[in-house]
Amino acid sequence: MLLASAGVEVTAQASEPRGILAHLKDAQLADAQPDVVILDMRMPPTFTDEGLVCAELIRAQHPAVGVLVLSTYSDVHYAVRLLGDGRGGMGYLLKDRVADLNGLLDGVRRIAAGRLVVDEDIIAGLLAHRRRAEALDRLTERERAVLREMAEGRSNAGIAGKLHLAPKTVENHVASVFSKLGMPASGDDNRRVLAVLAWLRSAGDTASIAAPGGSPGR
């Protein structure tokens, strides 16, 4: 397994939600709960959204355990459903990211640290939506890069490291992004992710209505 080969301790594996929840219950009794559970969006018995339902149950029954859901679908509605309560320790990544071990490890580590993690492809798709063009045109190229990193769940320090900028410069860009897009500023990184996602999603809903013939502008 990729994670085990990278030195991550894998405590258990299960093919369906019932087995996962049973293991977590036993682990809780033994005071040995895992830091993060990784789920497939499609699991038995119906192979639809069992992974998402299981993630919600884990969140309710084992709030200290982080959850990463892997999916083939770049669907913001799934992401918002998973992350919508604003608490950290949750993530939604596309399965293509699993092939990139460093990307998977980065996601697992950030979730274990209590952060929200959203796949960059979901963010890229949202940013490309034509309804957002007018508002996003007000942003500089650097501010757009900062917005992408914010939406992926990175802190100001993480953004500074990724984009090779001074922390103060990042702070200024973040403030400018919130101001230009009319979003409420927040010092809480996870709430900030949700604010960005909410803005992107609302802009996308408007785009779907405004598109010629009523079709989404995706």
Tens digit of pLDDT for each residue in 26-65? 999 888 999 999 999 999 999 989 999 999 999 999 999 9
pLDDT tens string 97-107: 777 788 889 99
Domain boundaries, the chain: 1-118, 119-206
Q: What's the number of CA atoms in the CB half-sphere (13 Å) around residue 172?
A: 7
- Specify the CATH number for 119-206; select among 2.60.40.10, 3.90.110.10, 3.40.50.300, 1.10.10.10: 1.10.10.10
Confidence of residue 207 (pLDDT cuts 50, 70, 90): very low
Inter-CA distances, 76 with 8, 21, 84, 156, Å: 29, 26, 11, 23
Query: Which of 83, 180, 98, 174 is closest to 138 using CA atoms?
Result: 180
Core vs surface per residue 93-126: b (16+ CB within 10 A) or e: bbeebeeeeebbeebbebbbeebbbbbbebbebb
Model pLDDT, residue 209 = 27
Query: 1-118 falls under which CATH superfamily?
Result: Response regulator (3.40.50.2300)
Token couple for 130: 């034509």
Per-residue pLDDT averaged across 104-122, rounded?
A: 89
* Cβ neighbours of residue 123 closer than 8 Å, sequence gap 6 or more: 148, 151, 152, 200
